[in-house]
Structure 1
């Protein structure tokens, strides 16, 4: 079986763990709009003590249910975590693979979607390297494998759109910049040239050249800054420290010009001064013009 066929088969298998199409709970976006979330959920195997996955997974699912996004770009997700989330949130399915072997091993940078809102036409994953089709490849100074998972969706009224989800390197600036260059090249080559959204943990603040280059040429807009140009503080990484909001916004949602940006938010929901992850999820509500 060819890699692309295998990737799609694996995605279909995990997606099938979700319940049939239906409401995921919480308030849903108004008709004609698409609510998008980017969410680094922190590895389930991390030694986080009182913030370990087993102690926060129900809270994380509750936040996702409350936000009721139609599309969620997720980072640091491992297969058992995704299995739990999809079973807990009826109406969602998923595309994506583990970065270590192109099947289930390692982190997913997957895209969850509400099946009542979108249907998948095609999807794939590529690796941020000089050989992006080579599974687990890396080239640019990053010691950790980095990937992008993307999908072409169709809305209920038949309009196509793309979602790309990334998790850029936390150490190598050359890797971050070259990853964005590859990402933009792939997006520029999309066929058809339908509206696009990029979600992700860029491990880079708003002034970092990798993030700045996402905005070059006006192809994309930062959804949060479009709605909240002067907002402060905007930190999205907390390290599980309650009240830690003064860092940089490293989690981003970018949208092409076809989208009207209706709303955007950094979701700082806590429960007894604990957070569902070490990153705040970021949301944007978009409407096709």
Structure 2
């Protein structure tokens, strides 16, 4: 007979590490010359074949890009596509391997009225979040994919909207926050996520950590392979998970890059699987 010392716990919980990626795909209709979508999309096949991410957060995904992703990721399902969508609509998606089960999904706008298609008056484009709760062998993982505005004030307001939504989750629940934030770890919106922001009332007690450590690597490179030094794409986490490793993927595939942003990759484990002890 086995029991867990100090805490009752189900022995069948999944302890396998899992991998996460976030990638701004780059607007598929952009006139990027030799890096146009039609020329670079096949580089994604090599990217995913090499890194095999379980969970992927995409930003700036248009419908025809989603169709292509579905063909090259046959072992993944996804949430986050708006149907019908306005012309030029860009989706924030969460792709996940089919051995995970999506038990809840949500979509909301980063605006004064998050549940209604809308934007901040100062924002040129509607900014949104896709949220998903995923279960695998007794483990629950929550994930957000988002794309922030450029304005620092709007970024702070957007971060507070996300933290307010997460107040519905227990502070110990595992949450991944993936996306292009158009901000660096030195900017105020980052501190809303990683510090105790007194304006988030009532506080959930949740503080995110970064899967990367200083000095934070640059993530935007404009198809040059030379990042501008700004770490604007993030993998943040909180709750019952911790990173084993993380990296910015600066590989070239078929002579070029899959996007004007580098993909970010991290491998996570469950905290209690590292320290679990049994007695017979």
TM over 0.5: yes
Residue aligning to 2:39? 55
**Does residue 208 of structure 1 match 2:187?**
yes
**Does residue 85 of structure 2 align to residue 104 of structure 1?**
yes
Higher mean C-alpha displacement, 73-82 vs 211-220: 211-220
1:224 aligns to what SS in structure 2?
Answer: coil
Q: Does the aligned pair in 2 maintain the 1:220–1:255 contact within 8 Å?
A: yes
Shift of the 144–89 alpha-carbon distance from structure 1 to 2, 3 Å rule, reads: same
| RMSD of aligned Cα (Å) | 1.9
Measured in 2, the distance between the counterparts of 1:248 and 1:34 equals 27
TM-score, normalised to structure 1's length? 0.81
Q: Quick one: distance in 2 between partners of 1:89 and 1:179?
A: 31
The answer for unaligned runs of 5 or more in structure 1 is: 1-29
What is residue 158 of structure 2 aligned with on the other side? 179
The residue number in structure 2 matching 1:197 is 176
- Aligned to 2:74, which of 71, 90, 94? 90
Q: Looking at secondary structure, tell me which structure has more strand per residue.
A: 2
- Equivalent position of 1:45 in the other structure: 29
* 1:159 counterpart = 2:155: no
Bigger relative contact order, structure 1 or 2 (CA pairs below 8 A, ≥6 apart): 2
Q: CA deviation at 1:275?
A: 1.0
Q: Tell me how far apart the structure 2 counterparts of residues 258 and 281 of structure 1 sit (CA, whole Å).
A: 24
Q: Indicate conservation of the 8 Å contact 1:40/1:201, yes or no.
A: yes
Q: CA deviation at 1:104?
A: 3.4
Cα separation, partners in 2 of 1:126 and 1:193, compared to 1, 3 Å: farther
1:144-203, Cα deviation, whole Å (9 max, x unpaired): 110000001101x21212001110012x21111100000011112226962111001000
Corresponding residue of 1:22: none
TM (normalized to structure 2)? 0.83
Counterpart mapping for 1:251-270 below 5 A: 251-270=233-252
Any idea what the Cα deviations from partners look like across 1:223-268, whole Å, max 9, x if unmatched?
112xxx446xx110011123x1242110000110411210101000
Indicate the structure (1 or 2) with the bigger Cα radius of gyration: 2
SS of residue matched to 2:235: strand
Aligned pair count reads: 247
Correspondence for 1:24: none
Structure 2 portions without partners, runs of 5+: 1-13, 197-205, 272-280
3-state SS of the aligned residue for 1:64? helix
Measured in 1, the distance between the counterparts of 2:121 and 2:181 equals 15
Partner residue of 1:67 out of 13, 28, 51 = 51
Q: Deviation per CA, 1:100-155, whole angstroms, max 9, x where unpaired?
A: xx633311001011112x110010100001110102x0125111110000001101
CA distance in 1 between partners of 2:187 and 2:255 (Å) = 30
Partner of 2:269: 287
2:158 and 2:108 map into 1 onto residues whose CA distance is 11
**Cα deviation 1:64-116 (Å, max 9, x = unaligned):** 22211110010010011011111122101110023xxx633311001011112
After the TM superposition, which segments of 4 or more aligned residues of structure 1 sit over 6 Å from their partners?
Answer: none
Provide the rounded CA distance (Å) in 2 between the counterparts of 1:272 and 1:83: 21
User: How many angstroms apart in 2 are the aligned matches of 1:33 and 1:120?
Assistant: 18
